Structure 1
Amino acid sequence: MKKELHPVYQECKVSCACGNSFTTSSTQKEIRVGVCSQCHPFYSGKRGRVLSEAGRLEKFQKKYAGINYGQKTEV
């Protein structure tokens, strides 16, 4: 292997926007992330964005109610 070709693998501090931080190894000294396992809805069990999207189906059904798109009507 050639010398000084590979980057230095060192200890790295990862900090999240929620305030959580932890240490890992990387070629960078510091990494900043927007979402981590402490604040991500999948890992934390919080619904977050899913709640803000509630009612979309009802809104769609209300908007397109009465349009039959050529389907046969029941007699």
Structure 2
Amino acid sequence: MDTRESLGHDYLPRVVDAQLDRLLEVGGAVVIEGTRACGKTMTGLNAARPAPSSTTMPPATPAPDASCACASAP
């Protein structure tokens, strides 16, 4: 996420960033808790990264046209 575009300034690094990165590598999901307005959302969005291209799913292939089978049912 581009925090400069959203907030008008760059992401402010948090002390938990390195730990969060390690936890995401190991488990894939974390819960970020904290007081109101402490930076939970920006920290999470900064840590979120797209999956490597080798793990992305291939484009879906169109399913056979099943609409005629459903349309003829009473």
Q: Which one has more relative contact order, counting CA pairs under 8 Å at least 6 apart?
A: 2
* TM-score above 0.5: no
Q: Which has more radius of gyration?
A: 1
* TM-score class normalised by the smaller sequence: under 0.3
Higher fraction of helix: 2
**Normalized against structure 2, the TM-score is what?**
0.26
Higher fraction of strand: 1
